[in-house]
Amino acid sequence: MIRSILTICIGNICRSPMAEALLASELPNCVVQSAGVAALVGQQADPFARELMRAEGLDIERHRAKQLMRSHCMSADLLLVMDLKQKRYVERFSPWSRGRVFRLGQFDNLDIRDPFGRGRAEFINARDSIEKGVRAWATKIEASDSWKKESEMRMPLCHE
């Protein structure tokens, strides 16, 4: 069962904080965190990201960018990156994470473009793509967890 998710982008101030907040909202039983492959360590989420999440009823005001560490990769059940380049990077950086690293837009074969420095319209496009990916992953995770719980309940108990 997936209980911990790490969202990853470049600077950890735009896409991954939005994905973190949206996934945490959709999957309240999961621990969701975010990090960046070249994080702007200690920086707040971009003002556009904060504004768009506020409009969703989500607060990322206290978010501070974190650098991706191998320990993050080892402890997460699922690592969600924004594009294929980041996927390859994470798999090289943390080879034992292979098989747990996927694009957030995996189910639509979609890379989520970096909106940094490109204005509000690009942030809205990124948010929309992130929301689509979050819905797809949340549905998949919930279905998988539900199936596992059902099959565990039907399993015969072993008695000695």
- 9 catalytic residue (yes or no): yes
What's the CA dihedral at 147, 137, 89, 115 to 10 degrees? -170
- Please pick, among 9, 14, 30, 73, the residue that the annotation labels catalytic: 9
- 127 catalytic residue (yes or no): no
- 128 catalytic residue (yes or no): no
Q: Where are the domains of the chain?
A: 4-137
- Please pick, among 77, 111, 113, 114, the residue that the annotation labels catalytic: 114
What's the whole-model pTM score?
Answer: 0.88
- Please pick, among 15, 50, 103, 127, the residue that the annotation labels catalytic: 15
Provide the CATH number for the domain formed by 4-137 in this structure: 3.40.50.2300
Listed residue (20, 22, 24) closest to 12, CA to CA? 20
- pLDDT tens for the chain, 160 residues long, are 889 999 999 999 999 999 999 999 999 999 999 999 999 999 999 999 999 999 999 999 999 999 999 999 999 999 999 999 999 999 999 999 999 999 999 999 999 999 999 999 999 999 999 999 999 999 999 887 654 454 444 444 444 3
Token readout for 67 is 């650098």
